[in-house]
């Protein structure tokens, strides 16, 4: 029985050593892969998260400004259309141009 125990102890030590060796190989492989990925990504022309978020914020502000200008333009166009309608009505009634509208 003593022989069986020593055999199992030896096998357990060998297995433990093999597992730790495989663990070391695995860690080394992961480190090499990580280095390769970092090197490949370093050569690519990628933006950082901070740069992306900064450009995104600029785009959002530009979109908001564009929408505000569109709303302002629509209001001005509506105002001009109302003035044009009043001027046409006044011209039709009197037959002459009014001060609100230029003479045609």
> Do 37 and 72 sit in the same domain of this protein?
no
Residues 98 and 69 in one domain: yes
**CA–CA dist 61, 68 (Å, integer):** 11
What is the 8-class DSSP label of residue 47?
P
Mean pLDDT of 79-103: 68
Q: Are 64 and 75 in contact (CB under 8 A)?
A: no
Residue carrying the six token digits 């029985």: 1
CA distance 52 to 46: 10
What CA–CA distance (Å, rounded) separates 39 from 97?
76
Residues 82 and 68 in one domain: yes
pTM for the full model?
A: 0.46
Residue 88: which domain range? 47-104
Helices (H), the chain: 2-43, 49-94
34 and 80 inside one domain: no
pLDDT digits 0-9 by tens, 10-54:
878 888 888 777 788 888 899 999 999 889 888 888 889 999 999
């Amino acid at each position: 029985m003593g022989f069986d125990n020593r055999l199992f102890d030896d096998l357990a030590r060998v297995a433990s050593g093999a597992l730790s060796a495989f663990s070391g190989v695995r860690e080394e492989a992961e480190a090499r892969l990580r280095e390769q990925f970092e090197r490949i990504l370093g050569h690519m022309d990628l933006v950082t998260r901070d740069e992306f978020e900064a450009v995104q914020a600029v785009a959002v502000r530009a979109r908001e400004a564009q929408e505000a200008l569109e709303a302002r333009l629509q209001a001005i166009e509506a105002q001009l259309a109302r003035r044009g309608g009043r001027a046409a009505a006044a011209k039709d009634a009197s037959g002459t141009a009014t001060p609100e509208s230029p003479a045609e």
